[in-house]
Structure 1
Amino acid sequence: MSHLTSTSTGSSQRAPALTDISAANELARLFECQLCFKYVLPPIIQCQDGHLFCVGCRRKLKCCSTCRSPFRTIRSLAKEKVANSVRFPCKFSPSGCDRYLTLAEKLDHENLCKCRPYSCPCPGTNCKWHGLMDAIIPHLTDQHKSIITLEGDDIVFLAADINIPGAINWVMMQSCFGFNFMLVLEKKENHNGYEEFIAIAQLIGSRKDAENFIYRLELNSHQRRLVWEGVPISVNDEIPTARKKGDCLIFDASLAKHFIENGNLSINVTIISC
């Protein structure tokens, strides 16, 4: 078992031919918002002359910006039917995705698309970096040098100086099974004004990949043992969302004191491949 003192801080598809792409683009353009040029997807609401606007732009307008006719709630069932048979480009096409998808495929693909941009997952920083998933680990290694990586599926995460007042994050990486997991311990004040700790594992990978693992967090002291098991969240998800759902280990300072030794908190971390 390794030890660490942490530092604060879709399925494959034939590539479409050029003629196929041109035809798909022409059909997709029929569903462009007249104002922002994003695609208007069902339910499709149009002005009385047939001009389309996405939900966001529709809320900003009192009348059609093209023909100036007043807005009415006119739903185009015919266009919705056609939209269900059109292949739209992935919204991450500017980042390099060349997939064209039906509406039924589009949302699931975009949630997993390898060309979607990600923000820096390191908590407790104001890092403005954005990039592809494959660039996240090189970015963390290069720009967040305080984050140390341990190899192995069973390690000890030692959060040093746990009694320092105020909001603090302890972060480390665990590498095993060909993946990298970010382990995070956060200390912050809850809505009642008391300090609480949030501990979680986040996979630098897709939600589908995350479902293949279980992580176990274990705190031990004399005659006491606290264990949490769960599916790691994906880098597609956010730690505050998991905390709000209660999908992580949450414990208050009064419980933490039973496991603190010499000002440090040791958490045994085990990654299990399902």
Structure 2
Amino acid sequence: MAGLGAADDVMKSSDVDSTDSIFADGLGEELLSAMECPVCMEYMAPPIFLCENGHSICDQCRPQLSECPTCRRPFLPNTRNVALESIASRVQYPCRNEGCFEIRPLELVAQHQSACPRRPFPCPMAQGSHCTWKGPLSLIKKHVMDSHGRYVRIGAESTSVLNDVSDTPGYSLVIFAFDQVFLQKSRMQDSKFYSAVQYIGPKEHASGYRYEFQLSTAKGHQKIVVGNLVYSICEDLRQVNLHGNCVRLDHDVIKRYMYEDKLPYKLRLYRIEEDVL
């Protein structure tokens, strides 16, 4: 059966009352199903394209296909489903994350889902360990403790050692403090040492935390302390490093604190309202 499309008997955009919102819960699952792209299963936003039989597809999937995935007929060149686009702008969409009951317009639901506290989070160690686990924020600690326990620190203050700093492509630690989850990432690049702490959770909560990174010589005669803001895991870490919103030290500086290519350091997390010691 063709979706809401360009056939003569389908709804035209002029049939939709431009002043009334169409609520998904009132029109039922059938409408929401019609709004889903048959390929990626995401809700379709304008522009929405059509095949010869009136089936719709989103603009992200359309360039990847040569024929309609539903009926195998060709797509109509540069023909859009104006009726469905008009409806899409009026439907209230439910958040797809399990346990969340938020309902938003199309232009806001994707933004909400990307920051929804009930969204599935990837494993914090995924990049280095190729771990494919995903789950709710409430289960991250159990997963990381069970599967990556050697890369965990408990508490706001910790001492760690980076091995072979000169060749470190990237080093990660998961930190559980203040009943929250943080990720410290360190690396050497272009003769500079970078380290930053990111917050895993609602983006707006990240600004409530800072960290201090401390290096000291074996006898404690020399010390260097660098502090900075904690950034959300949603932030591009490359940009954080590029703009110096992190620990950024020349290799010539950190080598004074190294022992046999190992770099011991202390890290302290604290809430913004706490006094810095």
TM over 0.5: yes
Distance 1:102 1:166, change over 3 A: closer
- CA deviation after TM superposition for structure 1 residue 96, in Å: 4.5
Indicate the SS of the match to 1:33.
Answer: coil
Equivalence for 1:200: 196
What is the letter of the counterpart of residue 114 of structure 1? P
Indicate the SS of the match to 1:136.
Answer: helix
Distance 1:25 1:231, change over 3 A: same
Counterpart among 33, 37, 40 of residue 37 in structure 2:
33
**Are the equivalent residues in 2 in contact too, given 1:203–1:210 (CA < 8 A)?**
yes
Measure, in 2, the Cα distance between the counterparts of 1:224 and 1:35: 56
The answer to whether structure 1 residue 258 and structure 2 residue 256 are counterparts is yes
**Are the equivalent residues in 1 in contact too, given 2:50–2:75 (CA < 8 A)?**
no
| Per-residue deviation, residues 144-177 of structure 1 (Å, max 9, x unmatched) | 221343434xx3533254557554625252513x
Measure, in 1, the Cα distance between the counterparts of 2:177 and 2:130: 25
- May I ask how many residue pairs the two structures share in their alignment? 245
Tell me which structure has the larger Cα radius of gyration: 2
Equivalence for 2:17: none
Counterpart among 45, 61, 64 of residue 60 in structure 1:
64
Measure, in 2, the Cα distance between the counterparts of 1:171 and 1:32: 39
Equivalence for 1:227: 226
Measure, in 1, the Cα distance between the counterparts of 2:176 and 2:38: 48
Equivalence for 1:271: 270
Counterpart among 100, 105, 112 of residue 109 in structure 1:
112
| Unmatched segments (≥5 aa) in structure 2 | 1-22
TM-score by length of 2: 0.70
Counterpart among 121, 125, 133 of residue 124 in structure 2:
121
Larger RCO of the pair (alpha carbons < 8 Å, separation 6+) = 1
Equivalence for 1:183: 184
Identity of aligned residues (%): 24
Task: Tell which deviates more after alignment, 237-246 or 249-258.
Answer: 237-246
What is the letter of the counterpart of residue 183 of structure 2? M
Task: Tell which deviates more after alignment, 261-270 or 133-142.
Answer: 261-270
Counterpart among 83, 86, 96 of residue 81 in structure 1:
86
- CA deviation after TM superposition for structure 1 residue 136, in Å: 0.4
Indicate the SS of the match to 2:204.
Answer: helix
Q: Name the Cα RMSD after superposition.
A: 3.4
Measure, in 2, the Cα distance between the counterparts of 1:37 and 1:268: 43
